[in-house]
């Protein structure tokens, strides 16, 4: 049977779980951002394959800006 030492003991118990939750949230965000970047980059490569005129700079260095311009101008 484990006995509590009061609020200090409870505070120590929650720290590893909170760190683990922050680590998971950060890991999930990084994974989401990387997946979105790869998806948009892949779509820009596919667009070039189908004949879309995309400059080298927008194609390799700014796929987010290219995708935003594509959606705003309506295809």
Q: Is the pTM higher than 0.85?
A: no
Q: How many domains does the chain have?
A: 1
**28-69 per-position pLDDT tens digit:** 999 998 898 888 778 878 887 888 776 655 555 666 777 777
To which residue do tokens 């980059």 refer?
41
How many CB atoms are located within 10 Å of the residue 13 CB? Answer: 10
Which domain covers residue 61, as residue numbers? 8-73
Predicted local confidence at residue 44, as pLDDT: 77
- Tell me which H or E stretch contains 6: none
Residue 44 lies in a domain: yes
Higher pLDDT, 33 or 11: 33
Residue 2 lies in a domain: no
């Amino acid at each position: 049977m484990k006995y509590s030492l009061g609020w200090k003991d409870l505070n120590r118990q929650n720290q590893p779980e909170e760190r683990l939750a922050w680590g998971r949230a950060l890991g999930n965000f990084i994974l989401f951002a990387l997946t979105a970047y790869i998806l948009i980059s892949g779509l820009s490569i596919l667009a070039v394959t189908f004949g879309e005129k995309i400059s080298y700079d927008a194609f390799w260095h700014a796929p987010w800006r290219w995708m935003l311009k594509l959606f705003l101008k309506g295809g």
